[in-house]
Structure 1
Amino acid sequence: MADVEEIISSELAQVLQKAPNIEGVTLEAAVRNIVRATIRLTGLRTITTCMQFPAQYPQEPIVIELKSKTLPEKVCDKITKICEEESKKWLGQRQVMLMINFVKEFLIENPLCVCSEELLSVKKKLLTSDDTVILKQATSKVVYRITQEQYFMQFVLVVPEEYPLKQVKVELEEHNFPEILKVNFISQAIEIARKCVQPPIKKKPKDPPFEPQPSVLPVVKFLVESIKKFPVMCCPLCKERVFPQNPLEPVTDKRKRMEKLYCGHLFHFGCLYKYVKTPPFTGKICPDCGNAIYHDKFKLSPQLMEARWAHKQARQRELDEVVDFLE
């Protein structure tokens, strides 16, 4: 027993000497009953290690418990199990400093642990068997390839070191969607991420103080739902699908070309043109959501459209009268 106490006493002296010199490590206690050190890489990647010496130390692995106010409990439990397995390799050695260094290295090598619950939620609730996800811990990236029938989009999320105080970055790798939707998807995803970390410009009086929110789940949720929804969306007017079944099939008929309104719904150009350009010209709404019809290609006021339509009808009547006269 005396030998064990001597070993522990000697190791505690070593810990008191070395631990404070490790960057990011704060030694909070180093006594016979407990050794406690907090490892802080970033605001979120912070974890506290609590270690106790077993009766047969160092022939038994040191007892470890991990706690964190920022990392999910499931993540702490997972890291604890990994540490317990690792400590079995150190039997007969001084284990405290080995454990502190191991936990720190684990946090460095696994930056995506800060958003692990979000990633798990995405996998369980949003992805199908046709979709793939690849975690690249070394570069703090997550690669998603989302598929809907013959359409797909592959995008990358880059999780910054200061996450979630800083927004996740969205990068597009490849896709076979129409260009107009590709731009729309990515720009909206970036805006969703921005709103998670930046307070609104105009704050309402009753709004609570702004706090940055994790942005991985909202961004991926928007992109996955959009990629799944749009290829099978039907024109609200003719009820036929707007996307061609085959992405490689060119749309040669101008009337069948895709138009996206500000409300987010897709129309065939021909259907939308006819709907907007025929009376009544006021109160035109999207049949799917009830929002007012607005599109860059149809900026004329209802009064001007009505005047032009009346002029066109008058011209047509004149032509019809000429035809009748000649007959």
Structure 2
Amino acid sequence: MGFIDQEVTDVRAKCEKQVPHTKIIICSNSLIRVDIYPERPNRSMTVCLRFPENYPHNTSILVELKSRVYSDMLLTELTRLIDDYARDFLGKPQALLVISFAQQYLSDNPLCVCLDEIKQLRTDIKTPGSIESLLKLKQKNQSVELVAKGGRYSYKVTAMIPDSYPMKSVELCGQDSNLPAVLVRYLNGQSREIARQCVEPPIRMSKEALANFRPVRSLHRSLKFCLEATRDFHAERCPICNDTVLPEYPEDLEQDENSDFYIERVYCGHLFHQGCLKKYLAEPPFPKGGKLCPAQRRHPRSDAQTYMGKPQPGTASSSTATESGVCGIKLAHDRWVVSVKTAEARWAQKQARQRELEEVVDFLQ
């Protein structure tokens, strides 16, 4: 029996017993094809091996990796690693060693299923002129931890990668931040919503669109939102007074919900000092449909569309924002739920009191 014949026989007899999570598809002198993790479609990979001339004395085994799950970048890199590994065993049987190496690599590096997204996040983090955020990979518990920074503020979140990723979205947990509570709630809720939209179709969708819906990867989309939002918060200005909304030092944040410097976030995404917002809402004019946000532009995160790979409505394409030069979205504030008539009546009463006070001052003088 020749060398290759003996190696093929050994692979056929030992592969599935010695290398866990493998299944032989083809095992012949011309081609060995083995599936790794065939029981887990979202982690599966196919290893194709061929015996070149002068194998194994002068040439190592030829390796080709295939997968519908892993990126081309990962397949190329892993193929290079396997080639380097196989060269150390010239003159010896290499098929079982190569299959075992590939299986062990996938087992030790479960996060390689989202390698492209991790590389993109690392690129996003290295934005020139900004405080560099941190990205930590934890292979053992299949998680990616992001510490996003903006000024002296930070937001930490951990994304757990499920076994069924990307069919199931990442699970975001372990959030911690020195930002005000209203912004932490927004980051927590919106990032989870972005992740959910990646894998769940909208409720209102045509049958044709529903049939064509396919889950997309959620790690980069959800963490990119957290990264960019945290970077921008410390520099945002109140549309009324034009001062930065957040104080420079987190310890100076106003905790009293009744204070004028307590921070509010309105529906369109803009941040206001509570006192500035109440003053703006309480003063005329009082348009019939309610007051609109006076900010000079639409907020870049007025919705999640830009993180879903779609153009964001209400930016450059919005005629209202473009023509008026302002945000133009109706202001919604939980602490200001009054009708236009009530607002006008309150303003008139306030003005009447002011005139009475002025008359008393004039009389006393």
TM-score, normalized by the shorter chain, greater than 0.5? yes
Question: 1 CA distance for matches of 2:345 and 2:294?
Answer: 25
Q: Which residue of 2 aligns with 1:13?
A: 9
Q: Which residue of 2 aligns with 1:287?
A: 294
Deviation at 1:311? 2.4
Aligned length: 323
Work out which of the residue numbers 276, 281, 290 in structure 1 matches 2:281. 276
The answer on whether the counterparts of 1:160 and 1:166 sit within 8 Å (CA) in structure 2 is: yes
Question: 1 CA distance for matches of 2:99 and 2:177?
Answer: 44
Work out which of the residue numbers 193, 200, 203 in structure 2 matches 1:198. 200
Question: 1 CA distance for matches of 2:349 and 2:151?
Answer: 46
Amino acid at match of 1:53: F
- Deviation larger for 55-64 or 110-119: 55-64
Superposed CA RMSD: 2.2
1:43 aligns with 2:41: yes
Amino acid at match of 2:23: T
Question: 2 CA distance for matches of 1:316 and 1:145?
Answer: 51
Work out which of the residue numbers 124, 127, 132 in structure 2 matches 1:130. 132
Work out which of the residue numbers 55, 58, 65 in structure 1 matches 2:56. 58
The answer on whether the counterparts of 2:180 and 2:253 sit within 8 Å (CA) in structure 1 is: no
1:260 aligns with 2:257: no
Deviation at 1:164? 0.3
Query: SS of 1:275's equivalent?
Result: helix
Pairing of 1:102-181 with structure 2 (within 5 A) = 102-128=101-127, 130-181=132-183
Q: Which residue of 1 aligns with 2:348?
A: 310
Amino acid at match of 1:52: R
1:296-319 Cα distance to aligned partner (Å, 9 max, x none)? 011111111112222232333344
* Structure 1 gap segments, 5+ residues each: none
Deviation at 1:250? 4.2
Question: 1 CA distance for matches of 2:27 and 2:209?
Answer: 45
* Structure 2 gap segments, 5+ residues each: 296-326
Query: SS of 1:99's equivalent?
Result: helix
Deviation at 1:18? 2.9
Question: 1 CA distance for matches of 2:104 and 2:16?
Answer: 16
Question: 2 CA distance for matches of 1:206 and 1:315?
Answer: 63
Instruction: Report the TM-score, using the length of structure 2 for normalisation.
Output: 0.82
- Deviation larger for 298-307 or 227-236: 298-307
- Aligned identity (percent) is 36
Query: SS of 1:217's equivalent?
Result: helix
Instruction: Report the TM-score, using the length of structure 1 for normalisation.
Output: 0.91
The answer on whether the counterparts of 2:125 and 2:134 sit within 8 Å (CA) in structure 1 is: no
Work out which of the residue numbers 23, 28, 33 in structure 1 matches 2:25. 28
- Deviation larger for 160-169 or 29-38: 29-38
Amino acid at match of 1:37: V
The answer on whether the counterparts of 1:172 and 1:186 sit within 8 Å (CA) in structure 2 is: no
Question: 2 CA distance for matches of 1:54 and 1:100?
Answer: 17
Query: SS of 1:139's equivalent?
Result: coil
Deviation at 1:130? 1.5
1:274-311 Cα distance to aligned partner (Å, 9 max, x none)? 10001112241112221001010111111111122222
Deviation at 1:206? 6.3
1:75 aligns with 2:74: yes
Deviation at 1:126? 4.4
Amino acid at match of 2:28: V
